[in-house]
Structure 1
């Protein structure tokens, strides 16, 4: 009898131990698959880690262009960094550098680093041409008090960019007040396209910070940079926006420009 009670106690204790172990194990998330394991949640990328997805260069003649000013024939003083357009470049198979980007905006904004200042009195102009070479917008640019990054917006009064059309832009600096010498300049091409329906819907409900990511993922360089640049102007001490700015310009190999001051558009 004592042996029976002892054996029964052992069995009872074993059952209690197994029950406790089963209760300690997590219940499978998927009842139809008992071996299913819930994936480890991925960390959400910081906005400073934004990624720009480069669009594919369209077929046809290479747009060419130049992102950095300089050359043997201009009369401008040698500076470093040089006059620079804040745009991506695409290296073609034939080693041609193409300065080309997309926008979905009717009146986009362009960004440049200007190493020359107001005291130089160098005449400076921005020109936007259609595919026939006709100027649709031309304006004189006031040089800043100190070297820095400026923006040039196409005004709403100007002819809007047409979807599917290609336009060529120039920023020219004449290093003689009478424009007698050849200018130092940058140039490139901008294409206006439609955003996808999904991206358009996402933008409607997105915060400005989220809009930067949406534009960048859809290859809309000008709008991504403009949205971020305007946020930085409003919040110059925001370290997160500065980190995002640095990251976005590093995506197109312009990290040396990222730390340059952002010049206000206010006179």
Structure 2
């Protein structure tokens, strides 16, 4: 028979346990991790396509459905292959971030007429400063800020390392400015190969010189078992942190974009979005960070090619 003293102790223990149980979810809440993009190290030397552009700058005086990626983790696998040339340890100059202004015969800058884009925020690709973004997918989504435009078409072209087109598609622009996503077809990207993509706003279909163009590089990388395990146990926010820390830009961006599209007024998700786009080595314009995610542009009759 249990003594009255022991009964009192038992009651205290139960009450304490119940009390701890009731506050446990609050006291053990996991703090939100910051999303910091760490650029991948892909080995050296690395020969990239010259003259790529992250943003098309209009003259200063001028005025979604988001694809849900089936994220598959991967590590960073160095690629020693480059673009053009016949091998050797040639390193080309860094890709330019903006299109330089036209020049007259004396070398003075000349404003480029802003034929079909409106607003002060330039056409911009959401990619790192290096212009190179990694992905684990064969068909990732690319993200762009597209100003309001009177252009009849957008065109996305993807080229392989020998500058052969592996994908070409035209789209009908939206009638308002915002951030769009364009998903590549399944099996567009082979593992450990770099591709150059180019998005053009076609202001005049008969005169390519009037197109507004942004371009960059993308590379698909192989799975890493350690990262796979971490991602399997992670929340969506934690997945974005893991992808960014591993230098896998496109998967990190898509993970946050999915949540922001579904919950555009959630302050925590808005904070994640801003952290990723303004993190060191990315540093996108704060005005772009604030732009809404809008539905993807309508696909026009396709002209697809797949060559690896």
TM range (shorter): 0.7 to 0.9
Residue of structure 2 equivalent to 1:60: 46
Q: CA deviation at 1:75?
A: 4.6
Q: Identify the match of residue 219 of structure 2 among 191, 200, 204.
A: 191
Residue 244 (structure 1) aligned to one of 272, 276, 286: 272
Structure 1, unaligned stretches of length 5 or more? 1-42, 91-98
The aligned counterpart of 1:100 is 132
CA distance in 2, matches of 1:83, 1:260: 12
**Aligned: 1:232 with 2:264:** no
Which residue, out of 57, 73, 76, partners 2:114?
A: 76
Of 171, 187, 204, which residue of structure 1 is paired with 2:199?
171
Alpha-carbon RMSD: 2.2
Q: Which has the larger radius of gyration?
A: 1
Task: Provide, for residues 84-107 of structure 1, a one-character-per-residue CA deviation record: whole Å limited to 9, x for no partner.
Answer: 0000013xxxxxxxx112111111
Structure 1 position 45, deviation (Å): 4.9
Q: Give the TM-score normalised by the residue count of structure 2.
A: 0.63
Answer whether contact 2:55 2:123 (CA < 8 A) is retained. Answer: yes
Q: Is the 8 A contact 2:133 2:248 kept in 1?
A: yes
How far does residue 226 in structure 1 lie from its aligned partner after superposition?
Answer: 0.6
Within 5 Å, which residues of 2 pair with 1:1-267?
45-47=31-33, 49-56=34-41, 58=43, 59-64=45-50, 65-70=52-57, 71=99, 72=101, 75-77=113-115, 79-90=119-130, 99-117=131-149, 120-156=150-186, 159-251=187-279, 252-254=282-284, 255-265=286-296
Q: Give 1:93's aligned residue.
A: none
Give the 3 Å change call, closer, same or farther, for CA 172–265 of structure 1 in structure 2. closer
Give the Å deviation of 1:140: 1.1
SS in 2 for 1:213: helix
Preserved contact between residue 173 and residue 297 of structure 2 (Cα < 8 Å): no
Q: Quick check: 2:239–2:252 contact (8 Å CA) kept in 1? A: yes
With CA pairs under 8 Å and 6+ residues apart, which has the higher RCO, 1 or 2?
2
Distance 2:245 2:255 in 1: 14
Match of 2:219, SS state, is strand
State how far apart, in whole Å, the 2-side matches of 1:218 and 1:145 are.
36
Aligned residues: 212
Q: Distance in 1 between matches of 2:229 and 2:190?
A: 21
Match of 1:4 in 2: none
Task: Give the TM-score taking structure 1 as reference length.
Answer: 0.72
Partner secondary structure for residue 259 of structure 2 = helix
Q: Which of the two has greater helix per residue?
A: 1
